[in-house]
Structure 1
Amino acid sequence: MLKRKGGAFPNELYDDMEWMAIAWLRAYEATGIVRFKEAALLLWEDIQTGWNNHMGGASHEGDGDGGLFKGILVRYLAELALEASGRSEAEELLLSNANSLWSLARDMERNVFHTDWSSLPSERVTLSTQLSGIMLLERVAALEAGGVVVSQTA
């Protein structure tokens, strides 16, 4: 991949970059080699360029694979939050999106989430987008249990 991209990790496929960033963070955790963490942070900078301001960054990708990619991003953000010292941007994004998902995008009668974490779901929902919502809540709960974040989710 580096050869194809002229020696650079960032590319147009955000989910690929998210998986690479998770791998770099895990390599850093296993070895303590700082350049692995730096590679993950470089990818993080590029991933953010594809976002919008809607919902604090996590956009509405639709369902199917697009809906699941948001769950991959949530996993990556949680890994970044663990590595950050003090309150991090990753932590802020996780908390704001969890609060939005829980308070705005949850259909309490059917117990399902919308693909857009700022509005109620329509009649049809897909498993991939439900998984992304569950991943978000699970990661925030794990960070909260570990003392990394203090959630204000209702």
Structure 2
Amino acid sequence: MKRRSTILTAALAVLIIVGLAAWRWGFGGAAETGSAASVWSERADLTQQELTKSFWDEKRGLFNNAAPCIAQLCTDPFNYWWMAHAVDVLTDGYERTGDMQYVTQLDKLYQGLLDRNAGVFINDYYDDMEWMALAWLHAFDATGDDRYQQAAMTLWQEIQTGWNDAMGGGIAWRKEQLDYKNTPANAPAIILAARVYTHTKADADLAWAKKLYDWEKSNLVDPDTGLVWDGINRQGDGAVDKDWKFTYGQGVFIGAGVELYQITKEQRYLDDARKTAANLKQDFLSPATGMLPSEGEGDGGLFKGVLVRYIGELLKLDPSQTELREMLLTNADSLWNYGKDKDKALFSNSWAQTPDAVVQLSTELSAVMLLEQAARIEKQE
């Protein structure tokens, strides 16, 4: 995830949203999300359709970087990890609707990615490859297409080569900086190893998940609060980047705990996930509105989407977490009523403000992820 120079410092949203129902974590009742039983599913449909209409390039079999598409910036740089999340949201759409158009588009995207990346899915960033492996394994589970499973397993073998003894272990962020270890390169790898284990039942895969988890928790999680720090030794000084607090880091550690709890039934994993999720109120959510922060454009536009995906996984496992449920619905309600273009299902980096004239793919993907989670909650009610 080549994001360091483009991320704006995460700031809590302070806009008090007129008309937004108060948030349940100390602010009253749940946000009103409409009376129709399928309101969120319909909104997810509209947003998925807009994603294809405004971003899809049929000729390349890839999504453009922005809408409207402006000159070379449409296609360059090649945002590999954004495309991984595009695979995920198309799979979300297929799982929710059973509409074969999603399967057709996944097939085109698979080939488009291979064509753009010299016929392989391997690249120089371990975290990027983890997102891609997770996405194709998700697509395999939904469609049964063996190509997707093979892509995920090939990537998983490559990802394991990123482990080394610098900083006491952990997977490196990239191949040119093997002594820099961070949450983006380790927590998603835990989720991946655990999900691979559910397919292979190989003890080695589960051992990887546990080893990675123990390293991540020991080095990059605040034992008092559950806050997940970003990385260690970025500048070669052994320091932990404790001031780098991003929503996606919380999300993937929550997801890691959920996956390992489901396999092992060891309570500590679920307790850790709950603790990190509870800390969102302290370090990320607006005390006035319960809104997640804007984390800027570029890669930062995707961060909240990663968080809400894995909050959704925790809710599937533990539906008693009603405060998390209401947090997601509050954010979804604001996104739709305040963060959407008035004429199109295009969205803002801030889920409480109207979007800029140009909307980046990363930002749109996060909006799709949030609306798909709201639709999942709706279906469960």
Establish whether TM, by shorter chain, passes 0.5: yes
Per-residue deviation, 1:85: 4.2
Unpaired runs of 5+ residues, structure 2, are: 1-215, 231-245
The equivalent position to 1:78 in structure 2, one of 309, 312, 324, is 312
Structure 1 residues 128-137 or 7-16, which shifts more? 7-16
Aligned to 1:143: 377
Q: 1:55, 1:117 within 8 Å by CA — same for their partners in 2?
A: no
C-alpha offsets along residues 28-71 of structure 1, whole Å, 9 cap, x if unaligned? Answer: 12232211101111222334332141651311111112111100
Is 2:257 the counterpart of 1:24? yes
User: Aligned residue for 2:128?
Assistant: none
CA distance in 2, matches of 1:87, 1:52: 16
User: Partners in 1 of 2:299 and 2:221 — Cα distance?
Assistant: 27
Summarize deviations over 1:78-132 as a string: whole Å, max 9, x none. Answer: 1222233446111001111111111111114232001111121120211101000
Q: Is the 8 A contact 1:55 1:100 kept in 2?
A: no
Residue 109 of structure 1, aligned match among 308, 318, 343: 343
Sort the Cα spacing of 1:3 and 1:35 in 2 relative to 1 into closer, same or farther, 3 A.
closer
Structure 1 segments, 4+ long, off by >6 Å, are none
Query: Using a 3 Å threshold, how does the CA distance of structure 1 residues 124 and 89 change in structure 2: closer, same or farther?
Result: same
- Please give the alpha-carbon distance, in whole angstroms, between the structure 2 residues aligned to 1:7 and 1:141: 33
Alignment correspondent of 2:183: none
- Asked if the contact 2:228–2:253 (Cα under 8 Å) also holds between the matched residues in 1, the reply is no
The aligned runs of 1:55-74 (5 Å cut-off) are 55-74=289-308
Give 1:44's aligned amino acid: A
- Residues 48, 121 of structure 1: alpha-carbon distance in 2 compared, 3 angstrom cutoff: same
Tell me if 1:42 matches 2:275. Answer: yes
Choose from 127, 132, 138 the match for 2:361: 127
106 and 51 in structure 1: CA distance in 2 versus 1, 3 angstrom threshold:
same
1:4 correspondence with 2:238: no
Larger displacement relative to structure 2 (131-140 or 70-79): 70-79
Aligned equivalents of 2:319 and 2:221: distance in 1?
A: 32
Number of positions where the alignment pairs a residue of Structure 1 with one of Structure 2? 147
How far off is 1:2 after superposition?
A: 4.1
**Match of 1:152?**
none
Contact kept in structure 2, 1:80 and 1:90, CA below 8 Å: no
- Bigger drift between 108-117 and 93-102 goes to 108-117
Q: CA deviation at 1:5?
A: 4.7
Change (3 A) 1:110 1:85: closer
Matched-pair identity in %: 32
1:93 matched residue in structure 2: 327
- 2: distance between equivalents of 1:73 and 1:130? 15
Q: Given residue 256 of structure 2, which amino acid in structure 1 is its aligned partner?
A: A
- TM-superposition CA deviations, 1:123-148 (whole Å, max 9, x none): 02111010000000011112222x1x
